């Protein structure tokens, strides 16, 4: 069944993708409510790197447009929402894991961990069980390198997720693979939310270290990450910076229209 976002006139839209979740609390409550109603859907977290890829990859854009819920991961997107007059709080994939696992433990919603590698998944599973009483981890799956959302390996993964009875599936593959796989899962799972969370499982396992909280709050997490891995990330962030003028130009009509409606 095709899942679509629920756009609102005041929601920020970026390259045809509507950011329809305004805060972490709203994300958690909306996701849990939809899961408890037996719905099948995906959750994406929009950042500048994704905005660049949306322009370059039609399949990625199509996967994003199928997402039931989209949060604002990138700080520039948060700034644009303030200019629009509907402030959004930055909510990353890593932010979602803890409160959703807490809710899952209390409400009896089994989870599935997908991505990274087997040792990381084992460490993550152990740590999550320690932190959240009652949490059921229905299964884990560590795909091979170059995982393809439409491969026989993906077929086997979907069968395993379906058989596990998981209601929340955390996808830690990185973009665009996790979004493409989540889009396919919408059609082939039964009452399971697929959440695209990037490196969140590595943070929990301790195999990667997330940026300090003060950099996250200041919108400077990207600086900390780039300093840790400049060779890989500097070109990516240069592309992101180059996309900002186009992003502003593309959303300016929305901002002006919103301001005019408010003044009227």
pLDDT 10s digits, 194-221:
999 999 999 999 999 888 888 888 778 8
Residues in the chain predicted with pLDDT less than 50, given as ranges, are 1-7, 9
State the pTM of this model.
Answer: 0.92
Q: What is the mean pLDDT of the chain?
A: 92
Q: Give the burial class of 227: count Cβ atoms within 10 A of its Cβ; 0-12 exposed, 13-18 middle, 19 or more buried.
A: exposed
Q: How high is the pLDDT of residue 213?
A: 86
What's the domain count of the chain? 1
Position 242 in a domain: no
Tokens 């990450």 -> residue: 225
Q: How high is the pLDDT of residue 1?
A: 42
Dig out the tokens for 202 from the structure: 């590595």
Q: How high is the pLDDT of residue 236?
A: 87
Nearest to residue 206, comparing CAs of 147, 130, 139? 130
Position 243 in a domain: no
Q: Are 3 and 66 in contact (CB under 8 A)?
A: yes
Q: DSSP letters along 2-60, please?
A: -------TTSEEETTEEE---SHHHHHHHHHHHHHTT--EEEEEE-HHHHHHHHH-HHH
Residues comprising the chain, all counted? 264
Position 133 in a domain: yes
Position 1 in a domain: no
* DSSP helix, strand, coil percent of the chain (3-state; round to 5): 55, 15, 30
Position 46 in a domain: yes
Helix, strand, or coil here: 166? Answer: coil
Q: DSSP letters along 196-208, please?
A: E-TTHHHHHHTSS
Nearest to residue 104, comparing CAs of 170, 50, 156, 56? 170
Position 49 in a domain: yes
Q: How high is the pLDDT of residue 223?
A: 80
Range of the domain at 190: 12-217
Position 231 in a domain: no
């Amino acid at each position: 069944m095709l899942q679509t976002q629920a756009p609102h006139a005041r929601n920020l839209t970026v390259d045809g993708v509507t950011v329809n979740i305004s805060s972490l609390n709203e994300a958690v409550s909306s996701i849990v409510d939809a899961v408890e109603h037996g719905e099948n859907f995906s959750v994406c977290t929009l950042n500048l790197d994704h905005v660049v890829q949306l322009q370059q990859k039609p399949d990625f854009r199509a996967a994003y447009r199928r997402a039931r819920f989209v949060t604002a991961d990138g700080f520039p997107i948060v700034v644009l929402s303030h200019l629009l007059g509907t402030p959004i709080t930055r909510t990353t994939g890593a932010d979602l894991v803890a409160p959703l696992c807490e809710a899952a433990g209390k409400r009896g919603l089994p989870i599935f961990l997908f991505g990274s590698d087997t040792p990381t998944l084992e460490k993550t599973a152990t740590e999550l069980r320690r932190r959240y009483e009652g949490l059921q981890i229905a299964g884990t799956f560590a795909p091979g390198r170059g995982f393809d959302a439409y491969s026989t390996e993906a077929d086997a993964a979907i069968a395993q997720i379906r058989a596990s009875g998981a209601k929340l599936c955390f996808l830690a593959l990185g973009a665009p693979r996790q979004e493409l796989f989540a889009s396919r899962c919408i059609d082939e799972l039964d009452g399971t939310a697929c959440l695209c969370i990037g490196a969140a499982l590595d943070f929990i396992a301790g195999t990667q270290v997330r940026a300090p909280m003060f950099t996250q709050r200041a919108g400077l997490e990207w600086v900390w990450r780039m300093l840790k891995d400049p060779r890989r990330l500097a070109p990516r962030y240069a592309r992101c910076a180059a996309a900002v003028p186009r992003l502003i130009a593309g959303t300016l009509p929305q901002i002006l229209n919103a301001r005019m409606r408010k003044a009227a």
